[in-house]
Structure 1
Amino acid sequence: ARAVEEYQCGNLYLNRKCTGAFVGVEPFGGFNLSGTDSKAGGHDYLLLFLQGKSISTPTN
């Protein structure tokens, strides 16, 4: 439990393999200034694959 308080990291695995995060439960992809701040499986991850587009139409 002490390691959880001392290490600043995105995911911390102790005494187990370092892969296998549950998507949507343990979003993974960087911490603080590391990465894009959009975690794989996080609520904003899909936005990385979208491109904004504006469409206007005449009203008269």
Structure 2
Amino acid sequence: MKLTLEGPENPKLIEKIANGEKVSLKDWPGAKLFVGNAYDKYLEMKKASDDADL
């Protein structure tokens, strides 16, 4: 399974995820976690939205 983490660099969050600990993204402001190909779809939607704003 592919996980993509976007947001401020925070090694403690990455460590907790890698160790299999439960985490709540509410405790990590600005962090977004994507599973599978969701990040690629997010980028496509973001680009389409940015293009529409032009």
Same fold (TM over 0.5): no
Higher strand fraction (1 or 2): 2
- Higher gyration radius (CA): 1
When normalised by structure 2's length, the TM-score is: 0.29
When normalised by structure 1's length, the TM-score is: 0.28
